[in-house]
Structures are given as structure tokens and as C-alpha cells.
Structure 1
Amino acid sequence: MRPTPHRRATAIGALVAAAAMLTVGVQAGTATAGSLPTAAPTAGKALGKVNPGALPASLSPAERTALIRAADASKAETAKELGLGAQEKLVVRDVVQDRDGTTHTRYERTYQGLPVLGGDLIVEETKAGVTKSVTKSSKAALKNVDTTADVAPATAEKQALSAASAEGSTKTKADRAPRKVVWMAKGKPVLAYETVVGGLQHDGTPNELHVVTDAATGAKLYEWQAIETGVGNTQYSGQVTLGSAQSGSTYNLTDTTRGNHKTYNLNKGTSGTGTLFSGADDVWGNGSPSDAETAGADAHYGAALTWDYYKNVHGRTGIRGDGVGAYSRVHYGNAYVNAFWSDSCFCMTYGDGSANAKPLTSIDVAAHEMTHGVTSNTAGLIYSGESGGLNEATSDIFAAAVEFYANNANDPGDYLVGEKIDINGNGTPLRYMDKPSKDSRSKDYWYSGIGSVDVHYSSGPANHFFYLLSEGSGAKTVNGVSYDSPTVDGLPVTGIGRDKAELIWFKALTTKWGSSTNYAGARAGTEAVAAALYGTASAEYKSLQDAWAAIGVGDRPGTSTGPVYENTTPVSIPDAGPAVFSNINVTHEGNAPATLKVGVNISHTWRGDVVIDLVAPDGTVYPLKAASGGDSADNIVATYTVNASSEVAAGTWKLRVRDVARFDTGKINSWKLSF
């Protein structure tokens, strides 16, 4: 029976809570002291004919520190060269380097001493110190900002507390009092307050809500959540070797070869670090959740794999690149069905899952959470809107990459997220990269309203892109798992291999993207990287463009030889009401083609309700989509092919859309005709 709106909303909330969690598991085995055995890595090997100079250099923490110091010493000169105003100053945040000596220096900005949120930029310089490019998160000019506030800080704090309360926090005072900032992540720079409120969210996840308030009007400009969700005898990965330390006759879970990464037992607590796992022997866990050490072994193993992957494949030593290990906390809360990364503690935290039987400590979850830390310390993608979807997808992408890198027979690499932890309770993965909508909430394709979707579901198109770029479209089997990936335009995509796809995504993340990068910016960044690595005439570059077009971000090169007409005016679709129309006036001469492409972008909360027809200028109706009561997924982003060769092209073409069942509404966002 079709659920009522109330029940459906409840289900959505449960799925969102589950989606925030990204865990990786470990299995039973006997651990011994020492480093993790070298896995049989695949990433970084099959790179094909690549420009070696454009590959990331492997920097030691000391080398990275030296580059940062050099950039800091010359930042005033750099600001002058960039033409920044007298009120602006640069603050060095990170430096990465290519093998040919090209450096990519990431800066934050201040204005009259105030932090500028969304003002980050990247300067690319040759080995000789010549500036090649400057990538800014915001194209707006940072000038003429009135730094006198008309609104009191207390107003901003009240607004932030109200927003946090809606998320479940019971705090009556901000954890970080309102501070003056310049907000330029969206549009013209304005003076604002940034307030941070803590507490706990509805599901027990720690709260670290950032709220930006206009200091002139008191309007809320933006908000984002800084908590990013999502031998040992392990529960998920079998018997593994763990890095540990010995003090006298006692062993503890401190990985001395990986930045002294430590793993703690919170013992159902929700604050502090808990107790460092220690014991009289160097054997951790028994493969069952009944032994508290088992989850610790899984988390410790996942952290080690992730460290090794980033260091051995991308040359990054630690999450920040500084050689310092984060730490892990397991057994958070009671039956807490989630895991999360926090910048404030520089740590990963894992719940024990439903009935405390499925800790969220699988390989892909651990890698997912640690990657949130990498993203925070590189591109800094704001965890909201399209940048939030890209942030979440980046963690999914490298979760898959680490899982393949691990080459663990108990948890083979796949393009599924959280398949071991069974959050849904029915043996299904949390997310699917080949066809994200299989989870019933994630989006397969980009559309204009995707920035308003929860980041765990707006990540779908980027996950889909990565799968298509790696493996290509259509049906195939990888490591025993069957996939069948569609494309929005119905055209095929040829995969370039996962190793190349990982390299391109990582290099774009660290050298091309900024805090407010959206899907269009992500495409531009990866194109620039692919061009540097393989050249614009390469098969890799073409496949990358095809993969982006296949998820609705831009077009394929050379696929449209005729004119394209588009209507981008939104039209509301009433619930179980009369048909609505959106018109396009075509001036193209001659007849329409036998392969007329009709691109449709419709938001709707139950797309099976929707019937879509194309109406030609002479009134002929071409059915595009019929109703399907059981199709409960959101939205219709698709391209239909119509044989309209008998129609005169010139005239008014209409998209006719009707909702034929109750309880759900939507709107036509845009549609286009490609002749």
C-alpha cells in the first residue's frame, strides 16, 4: 500500500540518518605488532600514457612545511601580484607540488583583519616561480565592504540557537560566540556574523552547526554542519596485522608508523577520548561485537589502510599532509547507527549500529570518514548545497578506492557503500555508485535544484560520474558484483580505469577546487587536470567529458550539430490536478529530425505520478513518459528521443505534464529541444 505523506516523511528521515553514517568493518584474526602487510594495490598503477611531470609529488612533512614557510614569507608579494586591494591579506593554508616542480598554493583571505569565508583561492606556479593560473572560489570583487555592524551579536546568536534547536540541540548558548566575518561564498561580499552551536542532533550525532547572519539586516545567509557523517580479529576483514606500541609489559593501539594514530574505547560515552585500547598481549578482538576490542581492531585497520592509500598512491602523508595521525573512537553511545568525522577533535567516531551488533567500522566507512578530513584540509568544500554533495561523494569515492587498494579477500573492493554494516537491516548497501537511485533517495543525474537536496543524496551524480569514468556504462561484473550503469542521454561511456579516475579526482580536489565549487566547477577542474595529465586529444579526456555529460553536467563534445532551444522558467505541477504546459518557440527551418532529443528536468517527490507528453505545433502528441504507481523515486532528469520527422520544426512546441495521483507535487525546472 502506498504510504501516507507522514509515513513517507518518517522514512526519509530514517534514511537520511542512516546515510550520514559511513562505516567500514573488520573480521576475526590474530594481530601481531608491526606494520600492516603491504596490500596488492591497484590504484596508481594503470595510469597509461601520462605526463609524469603532472603527477603529484610525494612530499615529506618537512618538505611540505618548507614550502608553506616559503609561501608565507612571500604572501605580501603574491597579494600584490594578484592585484588584491590594500584591505586584503593572504593566509597560507596548504601547498601541494607536482613532480615537475609546479606548486599549487591554497590561500584564505582576510579583509580589514576579518576572515573572509568563501574567499579562498589557489595559485599555480611553475618551478621557476611564474604564475600559471589563479583559481578563486568566488569571482566577486572583495571591496567596499562596510565593516560596521547594524545588528547586535546577540541577534545572530539567537538565530543560530534556533537553527541548532531544529536539528535537536538543547544548547542555550553558542559554543563559539558570533564573530565578525566577510561572507562571499554566495554573491557580493557582505559583513556577517559566524556563530557555532554544539550539543547533539536528533539521532545523537554531535552538533557543530555554523550559522552565517547578515550583520546589516539580521537575515540568515547560510548554515552548514561541520560534523561530517559518514593481530586484530576483526568483524569485517578477517585476521589482520595492526600497528601497535609496547610500554613495559603492556601493549596499546598506537600505530607508531602512521603518525601515532590511536584508537580509543568510548564505552558508550559521547564525549572525551575514552580509554586507549591496551592489554597484556598484542591480540585485539575475537571477530565478534561481543568483544569490545573487535570494533577497535576494525577501526584501527581501516585507519591504517587509508593512511597507506593516500601516502603510497597520492604522496600525501597523513590527512593534513603533515605526518600527524588523527585518532579513532569506537563504541560511541548506545546502539548509535552512525559514524562521523570532526575537524575540531581531528578524529573519527563510530557507533555500534542497531542492537550494538553491527559497528560502523568497515574499511569503506573508515576511509569515508578520514577522507572528510582530507577534503577539509584541501578544497574545504562547504558541507551544504552542491559543494556539500561533492564533499560527500569525495568520501564515497575514496572509500571505494581504499577498499580496492586493501585487496582484502573478506571485503573485496566494490562500488557499493556500507555493504558490510547492513544499516538498512535487509542486507543491502547504503549507497550504489553505478546507479545511485537504487537506494530510493540518491540522485542519478544533476539538475538545477540538486543543491537543495540532503548532501548524502545530492552526492549521487558525482558517485555516478566516478563509476562511469572508471568502468563505463552498461552491464558488467567487477569482483563478483554485477553493475548496470545508465546515462541521462542514452549514449555510452567508455571507462578509463579506476586508477586514472582516482588520480584525476584527487588532483582536482587538491589543486583546482575551492570551498564553494559546484558541479559545473567540478567538471571544469577535472577537465583541466585531465588535460595536464593526458592532453585534450586523449581518450581519457574525451571519456571524462562524456561521463560528465552522461550525468547531466554539460554536453558531450560534438554531439549537437543542430540548434538547441530551451525554456528555463519553472512551472508548478499541481497535485492530481490538470495538465500544465511549458512552451518553446522554435524558428528552425525544415522538418524536425527523426532523432529529436527532448531533455526534461522535473522535480517531483513521487515521479511515478507524472505523465509527460510532447505536443508538436500542429497538435500531434508524442508520449514521453507514462505513470507508474510503484515508482516512488524523486525527480525526472532524462532525455527522450522522438521521431518527429513528419513535423515542421518552426512553431510552438509544448511540454505537457500532469500529476495523476494524490499526495505529491513538483515543478518543471527546465526542458529543451535539440534538433
Structure 2
Amino acid sequence: MTPHISRKRSTLAIATAVAAGALLAAGLTTGASAQPDQNVSAASPVKLSATARAGLLQDANAEKAATAEKIGLGAKEKLVVRDVVKDRDGTTHTRYERTYDGLPVLGGDLVVHTAKSGKVKSVTKAAKATIKVASTSAKIATKAAAASAESTAAKTGDTKKADAQAPRKVVWAASGKPVLAHETIVTGVQKDGTPSKLHVITDAATGKKLFQHQAIETGAGHSQYSGDVEVGSKKGGSGFDLTDDSRGGHSTYDLAHSESGEGKIVTDDDDTWGTGKPEDAQTAAVDAAYGAQLTWDYYKAVHGREGIKGDGKGATSRVHYGKAYVNAFWDDSCFCMTYGDGEGDKKPLTSIDVAGHEMTHGVTAATGNMEYSGESGGLNEATSDIFGSSVEFNAKNAEDVGDYLIGEEIDINGDGSPLRYMDKPSKDSNSLDNWSEDAGNVDVHYSSGIANHFFYLLSEGSGAKEINGVKYDSPTADGSKVEGIGRDKAEKIWFKALTTYFTTTTQYKDAREGTLKAATDLYGADSAEAKGVAAAWAGVNVK
């Protein structure tokens, strides 16, 4: 398989994608998703420019006190504007976080759905309980809270070292009755070399651990190449910088095997990048830049979202992290994607679906922000698999055609099998096909199988079929037959649910409700699409 080599400037990138798409259309089986959705619903999101989005956020910020009163919040509760989505019919979906008596409320996020007239249609809340605590004075000292958090990190066995940052007082409302708590972030390094930012929530009255979640969101792989591609660059200094001004200024940096810092911008004398061999440091940089541009193009073209945060700003990609680091991760604190070079520093983790997967963690952090633990963590991971696969389909790359396999090119198992399967997740021997009461106790990469399976059923339906040369055979939990509605519609339903109905505490039954609402908004309550959503969830035992 030919590695990435860029020979032209960014202005030609779109032409390459179109040419590849024409080649695919001529000779490949396409399955239920072949026909694009021609009907644009009034509930579809409009494509907001960065300026238009900023204006809506400014308006929401100016009106947040009035909004808090409209939706019945208490006198000590304040709203903090986070994100906004606007539909074609003028409805806005404004996402907020909350404070209580000046303290952040974890699990207090909500989305206010407002009609064009200004009337509040409904509110989606992460926490159902009234936000109120008896006192905001902590009985447990911050030093004791930090020590407890460090002990928790040590017990996980995931960190080689741990250093607790000063705890902050919060109101914990994500799991029942709100309580005063401390949130401590314990930083360190996980066993495989991945940075660790473990958030530990402890009761401020008793010191008891209430919750923990990892802020560094990861994937895994070895290497992948997508043929000759074109990436954005610009003139800089005496040569060229790997910076794509057509996509928000996304830049690619070389960490030179360091595990900290930003690294140095990747440069070239003649704007011809890489040799296609891992020994050339530019090759991995080309792959990373290509994955970033495909992800940007997908969200903009399909969902009208300009950039990961919707603000028109590009992220940063960092290549050559650590020594023989066999992973890749998204870190929202630096708004950056980081790639290791794999075993022997010769197999960079720079595949299309891995890039789309990891960068989608950034989209999720800016929207639904499902906690990276339990069922919500599984939904977070599945969202990245769903849109990582969607980015791959949308790329129409002749050497890496779209499929419902995650990491199929990286050969992490050494036998040519993918990392995960969406049609029947249990084929990897770990992931869950269907929901059960134990789903929240499974690693998030495995509980994600439930939503991955749902998405496949919704897109393509159950049973045996071949798509783009790959054979699938998807079962259902109850033996029922599910008819797919097509991937294009399924993507739009999941994206709308993510951006307007999912919250930090969303569980699988909440996801069912959110996607049903999204399908109803887009296609109608009695539509085949809404019925398809219900059938696909039943197919994975979420009812």
C-alpha cells in the first residue's frame, strides 16, 4: 500500500477527494447508504459561520439571567453558556453549564430548546434533581482530598506516577442528590505511556470517593497509509510550514519523541512532503495533517459544523510522541491530537478512522460531553467510532474505502483483523453486542459496542450483506429483522442527538430517547426513520 506523499498545495485537496470518489463509485458495492438523503428537514442544523455562531453565543450570554428565570432555576443558580446549534426553522439549542452559589455544578449541564419566537419549547437536563446543598463549607480539608485522590489514582494501577493538583470545591449532581464535593485532577503517566489526567470526585463532608473519570481519551493502532494525498501548507520562513489556513489554521508539529511540550512546526523546503517511509519524519506528519483535513471537511460538509468546536478554529496535531508509543489520544486541554510511532517507532498511528475517532472526542467535549466512565463513557467512545467510520466513508479514499470496521488497517492483533466491529462487536472477544445491566461496569471501549451495533443496524439493517467489498452479518438481541434507513440519515440523527439532547450523564436509555427525539425532529414522529431508530435500539436490547 502506497504511503502518503503530498506534492501540491492545499488548493488542490478537494479535487483529489472528488477524483477518488469517482473511482470508488464505478466499481464498489455501496449498501444501504449509497443514496444520499435529499430531503432537508426544517430541524436540520444550519451551517453557522464562526461570526454567526459567536453572535448567537453573545446573545445567549446577555440573556442568561432571564433564561435561568424562564426555566425555573433557583436564586443561587447561574448559567454559563457553552455551545449553540441553530435549526433551519429558527429553533436554537443552547447548551449551558451551571454554578450554584458560585461553585461549578458537575452534572448540572442542560440544553434549552427555544423556538424562533423566543418561547422555550423544552429543556434537556443532565441532572433531574433540584440543585441545592445545605452548606458550601467543606468539612474535609483540600489537602486530605488531594491525598485521597492520589490514593485512588494509585489503586487504578494505570499510572506510573501521580501528582494531584489543588482540589476545587464543586457541587456533584451527576448521580442522584446533589452534594458538596471536591474535584481533584491527578496527573501522571499511564502504563502504556499515555498521559493521565484522572478526575476524582470526593464528598466534601466524608471524603468518600463519588466518581472518577479519565480526561485523556484514547484509541490504539500501528500504521496506515492512504496513498498519495494533498495537504494544506503555507509559505513560512525560508520554506513551507504544515499549516492549513483553509481549515482554521490547523498545524502539525513534531514532538521528536518527547512526551511534553508542543514540539516544532513541521517544515519543508519545496512543499513536497514525506517519502512514504516511516524513517522520514515527515511521512507521519502528512498522515496526521490528512486525517485532520478529512475530519474538518466531513463535519463542515455533512453537519454544517466549521471546526471541532464550531468556531472556525483548527486544532493541532502532534506526531512522534514518546518512544515506540503504541497509541494515539485527544487532549481537550491543549485542543490537540497526538500520535505515537508504534512498535519500533516504525508504524505511526495515523489512520483515517483513528484520526476521525480521536478528533471526534473534541466534538463530543464541546457538545454532549458524556463523562468518560460507565455507560456515558461507552456512548462517548461509540460516538468517536461512529464518526470516525463516517469520516472514512466520506473521504472516498481509493486505498482505504469506507467500512464499519474500526482500525482495520492497523493490524493491532497481528492477523489482519480490525480493532472493533460495528456489525457484531463481540467478534473482537471483548465488546458488547447488546445492553445489559452490567454495561456500565465494562471498559468504555467495550461497552461502546452497544451503540456501534445500534448505528450499524440503523444504517444497514440486520442480516448478511456486502458493502464496499466487506462482508457483514449483523444479529439482533431478540432475533427481529431490522431494516436500515441508510448511513447518511443515521449520521444526521446521531449528530443531532449529540448536539441537542445528550448531556454529561446520558445513559443508554437516555440515548434512545435522544435519538428518537432527533429522528422525530428531522423526519417526523411517524416516519420510517423514527420507527427505524426504535427498531435498531430494540435490536440491541435498549427499550
Tell me the TM-score normalised to structure 1 length.
Answer: 0.76
Change (3 A) 1:172 1:475: closer
Give, in whole Å, the separation in 1 of the partners of 2:520 and 2:47: 21
- Please give the per-residue CA displacement for 1:2-54, whole angstroms capped at 9, x wherever unaligned: xxxxxxxxxxxxxxxxxxxxxxx98233421123225357989722545x211
Say whether 1:344 aligns with 2:333.
yes
Say whether 1:169 aligns with 2:169.
no
> Which residue is equivalent to 2:460?
471
Deviation at 1:58, TM superposition (A): 0.2
- Please give the per-residue CA displacement for 1:71-109, whole angstroms capped at 9, x wherever unaligned: 000000011111111111111111110011110000100
- Please give the per-residue CA displacement for 1:163-200, whole angstroms capped at 9, x wherever unaligned: 222344354541x3100000000000000000001110
Q: 1:444 aligns with which of 410, 433, 439?
A: 433
> Which residue is equivalent to 1:32?
8
Match of 1:296, SS state, is: helix
Change (3 A) 1:333 1:124: same
> Which residue is equivalent to 2:245?
256
Match of 1:134, SS state, is: strand
Change (3 A) 1:44 1:252: farther
Change (3 A) 1:172 1:348: closer
Give, in whole Å, the separation in 2 of the partners of 1:412 and 1:538: 31
> Which residue is equivalent to 1:669?
none
Match of 1:459, SS state, is: helix
- Please give the per-residue CA displacement for 1:133-158, whole angstroms capped at 9, x wherever unaligned: 10001101112442111111112101
Identity of aligned residues (%): 62
Say whether 1:160 aligns with 2:149.
yes
- Please give the per-residue CA displacement for 1:455-497, whole angstroms capped at 9, x wherever unaligned: 0000001000000000000000000000000000001100000
Give, in whole Å, the separation in 2 of the partners of 1:392 and 1:29: 31
> Which residue is equivalent to 1:646?
none
Runs of 5+ consecutive residues of structure 1 not aligned to the other structure = 1-24, 555-675
Give, in whole Å, the separation in 1 of the partners of 2:39 and 2:243: 40
Deviation at 1:334, TM superposition (A): 1.4
User: 1:236 corresponds to which letter in structure 2?
Assistant: Y
Match of 2:490, SS state, is: helix
Give, in whole Å, the separation in 1 of the partners of 2:347 and 2:541: 37
Count of aligned pairs: 525
Deviation at 1:391, TM superposition (A): 0.2
Say whether 1:46 aligns with 2:23.
no
Maintained 8 Å contact 1:26/1:361:
no
- Please give the per-residue CA displacement for 1:415-446, whole angstroms capped at 9, x wherever unaligned: 00011111122211000000000110000000
Say whether 1:292 aligns with 2:292.
no
Regions of 4+ moved over 4 Å = 40-45
Deviation at 1:64, TM superposition (A): 0.4
> Which residue is equivalent to 2:102?
113
> Which residue is equivalent to 1:531?
520
Match of 1:186, SS state, is: coil
Higher-Rg structure is 1
Maintained 8 Å contact 1:171/1:197:
no
Matched ranges for 1:155-554 at <5 A:
155-165=144-154, 166-171=156-161, 173-174=163-164, 176-230=165-219, 236-554=225-543
- Please give the per-residue CA displacement for 1:113-139, whole angstroms capped at 9, x wherever unaligned: 000000000000111111111000110
Match of 2:319, SS state, is: strand
Change (3 A) 1:45 1:104: farther
Give, in whole Å, the separation in 1 of the partners of 2:509 and 2:537: 9
Q: For structure 1, which segment, 203-212 or 153-162, has the greater mean C-alpha deviation from structure 2 after superposition? A: 153-162
Higher relative contact order (CA 8 A, sep 6+): 2
Maintained 8 Å contact 2:153/2:162:
no
Match of 1:257, SS state, is: helix
Give, in whole Å, the separation in 2 of the partners of 1:172 and 1:314: 40
Match of 1:444, SS state, is: coil
Q: More helix by proportion, 1 or 2?
A: 2
User: 1:272 corresponds to which letter in structure 2?
Assistant: G
- Please give the per-residue CA displacement for 1:342-383, whole angstroms capped at 9, x wherever unaligned: 011110001111222321100000000100000000011100
Tell me the TM-score normalised to structure 2 length.
Answer: 0.94
Deviation at 1:235, TM superposition (A): 5.3
User: 2:418 corresponds to which letter in structure 1?
Assistant: P
- Please give the per-residue CA displacement for 1:518-565, whole angstroms capped at 9, x wherever unaligned: 0000000000011111112111111111000000000xxxxxxxxxxx
